[in-house]
Chain A
Amino acid sequence: MMKRDECFRILARHITDEAVVATYSSAVDWVNVSPRPLNYLSIGAMGLDSSHGLGLALGRPDKRVVVLQGDGSLLMNLGSLVTIAAVAPKNLVHFVAHNETYEANGGHPIPNKKVDFAAMARSAGYAATYDFSDLRMFEQQVAHVLEQDGPVFATLHVEPSKPLTYDYASLYDPKKRKAFKEAWNS
């Protein structure tokens, strides 16, 4: 089992001008690792991360989009796997941090901890799927995951974090949405 923030530190070394869509615990960890205007954090409703990512990928096929979704969030929008696979954006990489809990809502378990998200993405029709539970393996393969034609899906099996501080006012600051749009369209 890996730690989410450790995975994100490795991921951050490979991120340049991609939009990174993240929410809740993943957003907190990602922003701590990599604060940047191209972070897209205002999702508005749990589960919509992957759909926002699809919209960004469709609108700018010349750029790449990385989604950092939680397992509870993806469970609320499983249909988006099918929609994304059908649209088949080559520029979308979709990670799910599988910590088996609704971490931002008290750490309660998801309904079935053993759910296989990578298998779901594969059967939905993603171009490539991965399942990482070893940090060294993730470090070795992350560059390939990010650069290949999508839609690409990768499960990150991670431990629940120590209690995080959720500064929603900062995460959802309208100035950040404005900064994102300016950076994304520059």
Chain B
Amino acid sequence: MDAPAKAAETAPRRLNGAGIIAAIKASGIEYILSVPDIVTSAGLLAPIAHDKDLRLIRVCKEDECIGIAAGLAYCDKRALILIQHTGFLDSINAIRGVAVEYKQPICMMIGLLQHAPDVAPRQSPRYGVRIVEPILDDMGIAHHLVSVDGDVAQIKPAIDKAYAESHPVAFLIGRSPS
């Protein structure tokens, strides 16, 4: 193993919330639509709630976010949906209709509840976590695992692509951001 590879392997595996928020802002996101998720509660939702550059809309149920984001997209306004994977599962029909069949740029950041960060989601002992990626694949929705700081660079290009090509995208948060 060469030195850089060894260094990468031994580097602390962490996910910085401020880095994710910076990437969200760099992506032109103005609105965050959210039901609280314990994975992203402290590292993302709490700071976003106090961030003057982002407008947080707290909703009662996750599928509301899909309609709100679509309405905003028709106004050329960008939104990010910040939810837990349980809320994603609860919103499948809305995502099917609005994001997939109507080809709307619905951008979702999904916390994987009770997920062990160093295990691939498909290998999770948690059934609810294990089925998320296969469902996204079956629905043809692009998705990206964000578990360490190095994954954050995927966010802006993926959001830009979603809006440029009018299709949904999902970011799976595999570790609680600090």
* Residues of A participating in the B interface, judged by any CB pair closer than 8 Å: 40, 42-45, 47-60, 77, 79-80, 82-83, 86-87, 172, 174, 177, 180-181, 184-185
Contacts and interface: CB of A to CB of B under 8 A. Distances in A.
A82 B60 contact: yes
Given A48-B64, A48-B66, A55-B68, 5 more contacts: A45-B66, A48-B98, A59-B76, A80-B64, A185-B75
B75 A59 contact: yes
B102 A42 contact: yes
A126 B65 CA distance: 20
A177 B101 CA distance: 12
A51 B67 contact: yes
B58 interface: yes
Contacts of A83: 57-60, 64
B70 A44 contact: yes
Main secondary structure of the interface of B (DSSP, over half): helix
A150 B98 CA distance: 26
A41 B91 CA distance: 20
Contact of A54 (B68, B73, B102): B68
Interface of B: 31, 57-61, 63-77, 79, 93-94, 96-98, 101-102
Given A48-B64, A87-B57, A58 B72 contact: yes
> Which of A43, A50, A53, A174 gathers the greatest number of chain B CB atoms within 10 Å?
A43
A168 B60 CA distance: 29
A40 B77 CA distance: 17
Nearest to A79: B60
13 contacts: A43-B98, A44-B97, A45-B97, A45-B98, A50-B67, A54-B67, A56-B71, A58-B68, A58-B72, A58-B77, A180-B74, A185-B75, A185-B76
B75 A51 contact: no
A51 B74 contact: no
A77 B98 CA distance: 16
B71 A52 contact: yes
Contacts of B94: 44-45, 48
Contacts of B69: 55
Contacts of A86: 58
Contacts of B31: 58
B81 to A, nearest CB: 12
A163 to B, nearest CB: 24
Nearest to B91: A45
B101 A53 contact: no
Contacts of B73: 55
Contacts of B98: 42-45, 48
A59 B61 CA distance: 20
B59 A58 contact: no
Nearest to B67: A51
Contacts of B58: 83, 86
Contacts of A53: 71
A45 B91 CA distance: 10
B74 A181 contact: yes
A31 to B, nearest CB: 18
B7 to A, nearest CB: 45
> Which of B65, B68, B79 gathers the greatest number of chain A CB atoms within 10 Å?
B68
A88 B66 CA distance: 19
B77 A45 contact: no
